[in-house]
Amino acid sequence: MPRVLFIAYLFPPIANSGTRRSLSFVNHLPNFGWEPLVLTVADPPAEPLDPGMLAEVAPGTRVERVPLASRTLADLAAGFVARGARRKQLAEGLEWRLRALVAVPDQIASWYPSAVRRGVELHREVGFDAIYATAWPYSSFVIARAISQRTGCPYVLDYRDEWKPSGTMAWETQSWLQGLINPRLERWAGARAAHVVTVTRTLVDVIRRDSGARHVHCITNGFEPSDFAAALVQPPDEFVRVAYTGVWRQGYGPDALYRAVRRLKDQGFPQLARLKVTAAGFAPGLAGQMGIADIIEELGRVEHSRAVDIMRNADMLFLPVPEGFYADASLPGKLFEYFGSEQPIVAAVPQTSETARVLADVGGAARIDPGDDATLAQMLERLCAGDAASLWSPRRPERLQHYTRSATTGSLARVLEAARRGETIELAP
């Protein structure tokens, strides 16, 4: 069985949507004839952790964890001047300052020396036939090329977003130094990549332009059917349940859903008492500020299994997309998990968007324009009245199979094999 060095900063126990993509690829690759050898970080800084995710890594998977140089140096320096709790406190303060100092291409850049060193050692110790690196962080791409140069192994890059900020998202930031150097690093890494994959068709064209890569393919995110088979299904009751699971940050979140609920409350909608909205994945508080905490239950961050239960027991799932460039270009990871739940979806997305295209492909959904709170409120009214069945497009179960994690991993295995053999490949759209 050929081996792939699988470079993924976001890997269990880091609780992040990007972790799900890496975890699923690693777990399914052996079914397609590839043994993954995971290279990730030890003691990730400032990341939400879910130790329970470690149990989801397939038994027998070899996971190598390397330290950040910033942490190693901070611990060493602090040890010269302090002991005990004071040493730990001093080391933490030094560590984030060192990370900020060496932040090209990103704030995790200081794992580069240990990752490259360990990757080369692993090639010498056990060998591997290809290298795969997923980003963010984009330092993993630089690591992949460096290891490739030292071992002669071809490498594949996986973009979950574009490297260059789109300029439309409030949370996208970069320093002047990153703005100067990162475009050159992207082309340096992309030019020698055997293949590049990304998560939407729109990003294929953007990344081909920005990276100079020749062979760029779309492999979407997906869902695990077994997650939903194991979901705890509640018996029916008198309530109508609507759910949103995911992050909330400026320009991306369930704002429209909250406004629609507030609208119904202001109008005195008589069946509003039947409506129960569950929101999970972000810090609670806004429902109370808007005076709708009696209708919307905010759970904060929850374990993935709990999010699956919420989705599976909903009568409707709400799906937004980010504002700006990603309104058209993104396919949120939660879209595919919503598919896995087999519950109706209301998506506030542009008609021309990637999300609208995939929703039309699979069915079982209704689309509204972003910001159309009035139509969303009317849909909630019909849902509470038991008159929503005609809202959803016909479901196409045969298309759903294309978005399982097994199917997407099969596509990745084909790309890895093409890289190993030095061949080109065309993936089915």
Do 190 and 308 reside in the same domain of the chain?
no
Evaluate the CA torsion angle 316, 317, 320, 326 in order and state its sign: negative
Query: Does residue 342 form part of some domain?
Result: yes
Question: Can you give the pLDDT at residue 123?
Answer: 98
Q: Which of 201, 308, 295, 205 is nearest to 241 (CA)?
A: 295
Cis previous bond, 284, omega within 30: no
Do 194 and 233 reside in the same domain of the chain?
no
Do 34 and 115 reside in the same domain of the chain?
yes
Instruction: Report the 3 state secondary structure along 16-84.
Output: CHHHHHHHHHHHHHHHHCCEEEEEEECCCCCCCECHHHHHHCCCCCEEEEECCHHHHHHHHHHHHHCCH
Instruction: Using the structure block, give the residue that is written with the tokens 């069946």.
Output: 271
**Surface-to-core class of residue 342, CB atoms within 10 Å of its CB (0-12 exposed, 13-18 middle, 19+ buried):** middle
Question: Can you give the pLDDT at residue 365?
Answer: 96
User: What is the β-pairing status of strands 3-7 and 35-41?
Assistant: parallel
Residue 364 sits in which domain range?
A: 225-400
Phi, psi (5° rounding) for residue 37?
-120, 105
Report residue 73 CA to chain centroid gap: 31
Do 238 and 199 reside in the same domain of the chain?
no
Write out the chain's pLDDT in tens, 429 residues: 999 999 999 999 998 889 999 999 999 999 999 999 999 999 888 788 899 999 999 999 999 999 988 877 766 776 666 666 676 777 676 766 777 777 889 989 999 999 999 999 999 999 999 999 999 999 999 999 999 999 999 999 999 999 987 666 666 678 888 889 999 999 999 999 999 999 999 999 999 999 999 999 999 999 999 999 988 888 888 899 999 999 888 888 999 999 999 999 999 999 999 999 999 999 999 999 999 999 999 999 999 999 999 999 999 999 999 888 889 999 999 999 999 999 999 999 999 999 999 999 999 999 999 999 999 999 999 999 999 889 999 999 899 999 999 999 999 999 999 999 999 998 876
Question: Can you give the pLDDT at residue 81?
Answer: 66
94: domain CATH number is 3.40.50.2000
Count of structural domains, the chain: 2
Do 256 and 289 reside in the same domain of the chain?
yes
Query: Does residue 357 form part of some domain?
Result: yes
